Structures are given as C-alpha cells and as structure tokens.
Structure 1
Amino acid sequence: MNALRTWILCGLLASGCATAPAPREESPAPSTAALDAEAARAMAATGAKGLAIAVIDDGRVVATRAYGARNAKGEPLQTDTVMYGASITKTLFAYVVGQLADEKRIDLDASIARYLDKPLPDYPDEDRYSTWSNLAGDERWRAITPRILLTHSSGFANFGFLEPDGRLRIHFAPGSRYAYSGDGLILMQFVLERGLGLDVGAEMQKRVFDRFGMRNTSMVWRPDFARNLADGWKAEGGVEPHDERSRVRAAGSMDTTLDDLSRFAAALVRGEGLSPQAFAEMTRPQLAITTPSQFPTLQDELPPEQRRKDLAAGLGVVVFDGPQGRGFFKTGHNDSTGNVLVCLPRGRRCVLILSNDVRAEAAFPQLVRFVLGEAGVPWDWEYGSDMTFWDGR
C-alpha cells in the first residue's frame, strides 16, 4: 500500500488505522506557531529547501509564512520573494475570461471561429503561440469553444511540441472528455488577442494584478525581480536558476509572490470581481473527469463503474466533493517548482502553498489537511498513485 492510500485510510494517525479522524469543519485556522512547526516537520521529512504558505479564512488572508532558502547562497525565502507561479497562472487567466464573459465580450459556448477573421489553420505559425497550421484538414477545430478550452477538453495533447512528431492534432471530439492541455489555454489567449484585439498581459495586469495590489506579479520577467528572487531545487537536489520568461503565456508564464497570490486567492473565494453567476460557473462541475490520473494527459478513460463521482473540471480549476462540501483546486509544477491552491467556498477558506523545491509536493496533502481539515482533495488523481507522500508522522 503506498503512502497516499495509507494517508487516506489511516487519517494520518500515529496510532494506526483503527479510527478515522472526524472532519475538521469550520474550525479555526492554525496558529502561526503551529503552522511554523508543521512546516518545519514537512521540510525535514521531504528535504525541501524552501516553502511558503498562506492561510485564507472567511475570505481574508490571516497568515503568510515563508521558510528556508530562496537560492543556493542560503538567502532567506520571504513572503515577498518572487517565485514562479507555473500553472496556477491558468486559474488567474480563467478568472479574466470570466470577467469578459460577464461583460458579454465573449460567449463561453460560441465556436472560436466566431472571433477569428479566417480559419484557425490559416494563421501563420508563430513562436508565441502553437502551430495551428497542423490542424489543416481537421474541421473539428470549429467545435472548440472557450468553455471547452477552459475545461481542458479541446482534444489536444498538453503541448503540440510533445507529440511524437511535434505536430499539434485533435485526438478526440472537442468537449467529449478531459485531457489537460496547456495549448488549449494558449489557444484561448490567441482568440482574445487575435479575435478581440486584446493584450492578455495588459488585461491580466489591469484586471487582476493592479486590482488586488499584486505589485510583484507579472506575466513576463521584470528586472526588478532580481533583487529578491527564488531559484529552485529539483528532485535530485540540483539547483535550477529562475527562468526569465519574456513572453506572455496564459498556460503559465506568471511570476508572483506568496503575498500577492494570497490576495488573489482571498478575492477569488469571495467571488470578488465576478458576478455570482460567473463565479458559480468557474467553480461548478462542468465536465466529469474520467481518467485515473491527470498525467499523462492522453490516456485511456476508466470504465464507467471505476470513474470518480466526486471529480470534475471547472473553468481553470478542478472541482471536487469532500467531507466539507464542494471545493476547488489548482496546482503548478515544473522540475523545481511545486505550487497548490485549495479552496473551500463554504467558509471561504483556502490554503496556498508555493515552493521553490519540487520535493515539497510530497508534503502537500498533510499541510493542506493541517490547515483546512480533511477536505477530500484528489491527490492520487493529481499526482498519480505512485507518488509517495509524507504522512505527517
């Protein structure tokens, strides 16, 4: 039995599996001293060099804490240290699309063809986007809508360049099933920029970063970030320098800080900036998830009787049902980054974890449970059943 199943079945009890703990519903957020102690235990157990945690309760940021180092020099990681946002960028981008839908500037259920002045495959290939020309001869692209792109059901691989021949293609009828795709978000960006004439970087700045006082957040690298910047540690312990991203990429180019991103998380769980209808759309089950894990992105679906009933795609988030009701979450990951945001709308509670050491991911289930109580986050689906988690003992 792997560590994840042990964690689920035993409830992280040092005494064994005899009694599962009662759900910690609407309980107070842990004290900073308790959070500090648990973070120290997590870092010692996983070997993670850097970790930052924010706690949101009743839609307010009640704690932001940072631990360890931001680089190989041992300079301290702080709550205002610039870190890589990775795929949590997708959630902020989906929030902006929700605002545009509120303003009737885009219809979530209209074909993307409505917004383009020529067929998608006729656009020349550009390094900034994907290779839409590879879709020539496949008219299924016309069935793609913004909702389909934001629920990761376009039919694309994660990225076209990861295909065996490097060519983007549609693998299944758009909208019919979930398969995580960064290129799907890049296509949504393309529709906004080429179809509506928007600058996605400027829209993110105005609608999110400026609105919530996120002064150290950007979709592209800024030279002033260098004064307090996090490098990263990979699984084998090697250091990876921070990547200075020069292009706006809706799939994951954002640099941010714990202080900044926690402000957005608190606003999101309050529904601020979205109509009640738009917030409900973003955080409701839109499309059942039918695969045993999120990665690899293109894998066989489970038989109907084996599929989870508590797991679905929202818009830019994954939605789950657990002991405390409905929740939503989003992770971000690369070779040296591990991030997660988990929110429970009932009580407007969230925990945000940013780490510049990918080894910290092994502690995420325990740290989230320590802050929120048992929420039912589908960790085995997110990371795969072979992932070994620290169980808190």
Structure 2
Amino acid sequence: MLRHTPWTVAAFFLAGSAMAQETSTTLDRAAREAMEQTSARGLAVAMIDKGQVVSVRAYGVRNAKGDPLTTGTVMYGASVTKAVFGYLAVQLAAEGRLQLDQPIADLLPDPLPSYGNLDAYGNWGDLASDDRWRLITPRMVLTHSTGFANFAFLEPDGRLRIHFDPGTRYAYSGEGMMLLQFGLERGLGMNIEEELQQRYFQPLGMTRTSLMWRADFATDLADGWDAEGNIQPHDERSRVRAAGSMDTTISDMAQMAAYMVRADGLSPEWRQLYPGGTLPITTKQQFPTMLPDAPEAERPQAKAGWGVITFSGPQGPGWYKGGHNDTTANTLVCLQEGQRCVLILSNDVRAESAFPKLVRIALGETGVPYPWEYPELSEY
C-alpha cells in the first residue's frame, strides 16, 4: 500500500475550479498507478500555476526501513542542477557580469591547460594540444555544444578531448558545465554555492537545498532504488558540481521552478529571451552523446536553451530539464502560457517510464520531445 503525505496547497490548481479538482484527483490516481506499474518505491510531484506553487505531494518510502517519503525529504536533484546553474548564468548575463558569447578563456588569468587536471573540476591539461578550448563560450556550455563528451571518465582512455568545433552542434556534456563553473570561480572569484544560496535558496525559503552535503539532511533523506530494484545509499557529495550535485526537496525545488517560470530577476528583454532556445537539436535521441546528425524527419522539434531544452507545442512555448542516474529519475516541465509547471522527483529510477503520462495528465499535451528524451519507451 502506498504511503504519502497530505497535499501542501498554496491555492487550489486553477483557483479551486471543478477542473482543478478533477486534475488533482486524476494526477493523484495516476501517480499511485504509476508506482504500482513500475514498482517504483518513492515519487514526489509538485504543480505550479500562474507562477505559484499550488500543490506538493509525496508518495511511497525513502529507505529500506520503510520510512515515508515526505515533501521535506532530501532527494538527489541530479541534472536538474544544470537548469538552476543555467538560470544563474542568464541572470549574470542580464546584469552585465557575464558575456554569453565571450570565450571563457578570457575570464581566466592563465591558459586553461596550464591548470592541469583538477579533480574538483576537470582534466584541463588534456587540452594542451587542441587550441579550440579558446573558442568555448558560456552559451556553448549552456547549449551543450562545447564538443566535450558528457564526462572525460567516459572516454575510452579517460582523457578530455574536443570532438567537434565548439558551437556547431548539440552533444550533452556535464564536463562543459564544470568548465563554466571553473571560469566563474577562478575568473570572477565567485563561490557558486554561496551565490545560489544568496540569490535563490535562502530568499525562497529553500532551507534543505544545497550543492554540497549537509549533516542536517540525514534526518529525512532518500536512498535510491536502481533498475533491478536494489537499494543504494544516498551519496554524500562533498564538492560543489554545477553539472549535478544538488540535493533538494520537492517543496524546495518547486519554489525554484516557480521562480524560473516567472522569469524573476530578469528584465523584460531577458524574460523574452530565456525560454527561446538558440541551438537546433539535430540528433534522433539525446544519448549516447556523440550520435551523428539524423535525417531532418527524425530530429526533434526542440532547441537547446540555457541549461534547458526548449520546445513549442499545442500550448505554445515551453522548456524542460530531466535528471537521471542509476537510482534517480527527475523531470521539470514548464509552459510559458499560464506559467504552469509540473515537477517530478523520484528516488527510484524505474519511475521514469511513467513520466510522459504523468506530465500529460498534469499539463495536457505539451510538445516535450519524449522520443528524443526517452527513446527506450514505446508509449508517450
């Protein structure tokens, strides 16, 4: 039997209308059914309407003991971290502190390869024989067009390399995010964790969110289940990694999502630019990273934005970001019309196959390019 916490409601979805009640009831039932069908042990869902968090709910358990997953349980944010970091970069650009099309090399006091291989950041010394590192800009990082593989450790020899001319095509890369983090920290003297806390987490009341492990998280913490149903303990990440080290709760991250869909902290000009996307995606699916270009008919109707993927569907423009590892499945989908979002976090990777259906129930048909995002699924 599923265990869950009560709804946390700021205002009934769509202001208490009959449609809102029906949507909430249908989504609740679908979440329960999804867990039964996928065998997922834990799931959390938040809804945003008109830029405000209107509901937050958690189902299932957070560990092998059977302790309930709650709306305050700390869960792994995975690559949803990239969306938050991308929003920070956009704000810095809007403030004139960061030029999106200026090479990151210009921020650094020394040539990038001279920093060597830094375990906390990247294997920059591997780039000494390829000057194309001088071309990489923040925009290329945020649109995943640096030319890097996802991570250097995934390369056959474990060495960082540039596979194509930076800026020419999409290829997902956490390594690129680490390069931008390195540029901001070494070049602008910025502490990314402190910056995120001061700009977003503290003002929004996100008291259980951090890109570094905190001891107080242990009081209500989610372990995770892998595809075979084996449980793994929550990783206590000791370093800030913009590519994906964020711990958060469904309640906290819902506040950040609402902030982002409202485009808070941006001028009217930048509010128009943020959800637009700037680089067409030309591959049939997102992974593996270095796939060749697909025929035009097989490409998704989507573009790489600034830390997110943008699309235009039946309800107009929107954007989304997923997060995934062996025991984590997350998605955030937002529509500009009505400033509506659904956020789903799961500490069980098996829940991921139910995400397209849950998003459709929450928001209707959106236009998210699910065949590109989840090519292994037969239904969307």
Normalised by the shorter chain, which TM-score bucket? Answer: over 0.9
> Which of 45, 53, 69 is equivalent to 1:53?
45
Which residue of the other structure, out of 177, 187, 204, is the alignment partner of 1:185?
177
Within 1, Cα distance between the matches of 2:138 and 2:115? 19
Structure 1 residue 28, shift from structure 2 partner: 4.1
Query: Contact between 1:146 and 1:188, CA under 8 Å: does it hold in 2?
Result: yes
Output the amino acid matched with 1:271.
A
Equivalent position amino acid for 1:36 in 2: D
Q: Tell which deviates more after alignment, 96-105 or 53-62.
A: 96-105
Q: Counterpart of 1:337?
A: 328
Q: Deviations over 1:138-197 (max 9, x none)?
A: 111111110011000000000011100100000001000000000000000000001111
Letter in 2 for 1:234: D
Give structure 1 stretches of 5+ with no counterpart. Answer: 1-26
Out of 291, 302, 325, the residue aligned to residue 316 of structure 2 is: 325
Q: TM-score, normalised on structure 1?
A: 0.90
Note the alpha carbon deviations across 1:261-290, whole angstroms, 9 max, x for none.
000111111111222333333311210000
- The one-letter amino acid of 2:105's match is A
Specify the alignment match of 2:228 in structure 1.
236
CA distance in 2, matches of 1:304, 1:378: 15
**Alpha carbons 1:29, 1:372 under 8 Å: kept:** no
Q: Residue 283 of structure 1: SS of its match in structure 2?
A: coil
Task: Name the CA shift for 1:372/1:305 in 2 (closer, same or farther; >3 Å).
Answer: closer
Inter-CA distance 325–357: structure 2 relative to 1 (3 Å threshold): same
Question: Do residues 387 (structure 1) and 353 (structure 2) align?
Answer: no
Is 1:126 aligned to 2:125, yes or no? no
The structure with higher relative contact order (CA 8 Å, sep 6+) is 1
Residue aligning to 2:273: 281
SS of 1:342's equivalent in the other structure is strand
Aligned-partner Cα distance in 2 for 1:377–1:185: 23
**Quick one: which amino acid aligns to residue 316 of structure 1?**
G
Identity percentage of aligned residues? 59
Match of 2:91 in 1: 99
Is residue 92–residue 208 contact of structure 1 (8 Å, CA) maintained in 2?
Answer: no
Residue 370 of structure 1 pairs with residue 330 of structure 2:
no
CA drift at 1:388: 4.4
Match of 1:200 in 2: 192
Q: What is the TM-score with the length of structure 2 in the denominator?
A: 0.93
Does the 8 A contact of 1:333 with 1:339 survive in 2? yes
CA distance in 1, matches of 2:72, 2:270: 30
Alignment map for 1:209-288 (pairs within 5 Å): 209-288=201-280
Question: Which digits, 9 at most, give the CA deviation of each residue in 1:56-88, with x for residues without a partner?
Answer: 011111110100001111110001100000000
Name structure 2 gaps, 5 residues minimum.
1-18
Deviation at 1:30, TM superposition (A): 4.7
Cα distance in 2 for partners of 1:306, 1:353 equals 27
Displacement of 1:33: 3.3
- 1:211 shift after superposition: 2.1
CA contact (8 A) 1:291 1:300 kept: yes
Say whether the 8 Å CA contact 2:323–2:331 is kept in structure 1: yes
Say whether the 8 Å CA contact 2:26–2:361 is kept in structure 1. no
- Following superposition, the deviation at residue 111 of structure 1 comes to 1.1
Matched with 1:137 is: 129
In 2, Cα distance between equivalents of 1:262 and 1:30: 21
Task: Give the C-alpha shift of residue 102 in structure 1.
Answer: 1.5
1:359 equivalenced with 2:350 (yes/no) = yes
> Would the aligned equivalents of 2:321 and 2:333 in 1 still touch at CA under 8 Å?
yes
CA offsets 1:276-312 (integer angstroms, 9 cap, x no match) = 333333311210000011100111111345433x211
Aligned AA for 2:239? R
Deviation at 1:321?
A: 1.3
2:339 alignment counterpart: 348
CA contact (8 A) 1:52 1:79 kept: yes
Worse overlay, 101-110 or 267-276: 267-276
1:13-44 Cα deviation digits (max 9, x unpaired) = xxxxxxxxxxxxxx647554333212111111
Separation (CA, whole Å) in 1 of partners of 2:222 and 2:75: 5
Letter in structure 1 aligned against 2:348: D
Query: Which deviates more, 42-51 or 278-287?
Result: 278-287
SS in 1 for 2:43: strand
Tell me if structure 2 keeps the 8 A contact 1:282–1:317. no
Superposition pairs for residues 2-41 of structure 1, below 5 Å?
Answer: 28=20, 30-41=22-33
Shift of 1:218: 0.5
What RMSD in Å do the two structures reach over aligned CA positions?
1.3
Structure 2: distance between partners of 1:95 and 1:375 = 22
Query: Residues of 2 paired with 1:52 and 1:382: CA distance?
Result: 20
Kindly provide the amino acid, as one letter, of the partner of residue 300 in structure 1: P
> 1:314 maps to which residue?
305
